[in-house]
Amino acid sequence: MRSKKELLQEAVGRMPPFKPELRWKVRGHKKTQTRRIVIPQPPADFFEKVTMRAWECHKNWLKAPYSAGVRFLIEPLKKGTADGVDHPVALYQDDDAVVYDSSGEPLQWRWNADHLSSIHMPNEAARFFVYWSPRRIERVKMISAEDARSEGVEVLTVNVAHPELGFNMGDELQNPIHVFSWLWDKINADRGYPFEDNPSVWVYDWKPISEPVEFILGYPVVQKELHGN
């Protein structure tokens, strides 16, 4: 198995940032897919008229922000201690695990603040590497139940939903797509991209680096629109 130093040399960059509850699912292999808004959004009739020639014309404009290759998860850090070490070291904020550098030594804390956000995490603190692939551009409502589960959605087996969850019927909480739409709106509705508006998204998926690559890190595929709007 390759060392961290070798993986960092091969890496094309970082994974996009995730909320804490989603980082747990990424590390636990319960989330292996993500959707990110295409900015700027393609023309309204793009999916109706797209051809391979049109794709060639638009491929630079629609270039995936996160290209294919080896990438790593970014995580927030905090100042802490480690057994047998007489200086402050870096800990992962999510689980208090000690951060080890590329040489296998605890990473010395060298920042003035006691906490470091994920976007400022140094590359040497990376611990979770993946084979990353931009798969396609599609409308967000095209998501399947299987893809919703790959997004980390977990259904709730309840008969009555709590009002604060935003659902009136328990059976909706057992539908992965309904749960995904609620989670999507919690993050993106206030940004101007509610699920109901059916925005165009990049679909990315990945495999943990310790697993065999079962898919090709290739060029994304544009799928025709299956839903209205």
Instruction: Give the whole-angstrom CA distance, residue 13 versus residue 69.
Output: 8
Tally: H helices and E strands in the chain:
6, 9
The pLDDT tens digits of the residues spanning 165-176 come to 555 545 556 789
| Mean pLDDT to the nearest integer, 68-77 | 96
Least confident of 13-17, 190-194, 199-203: 199-203
Q: Is beta strand 89-92 parallel, antiparallel or unpaired with respect to 115-116?
A: unpaired
Q: What is the dihedral of CA 97, 152, 29, 107, to 10 degrees?
A: -30
* CB 51, CB 125: distance < 8 Å: no
Kindly write down the DSSP assignment for every residue of 41-95, as one continuous string: PPPTTHHHH--HHHHHHHTTTT--SS-SEEEE----EEEE--TT-SS-EEEETTT
Least confident of 28-32, 41-45, 53-57, 146-150: 53-57
* CB 204, CB 37: distance < 8 Å: no
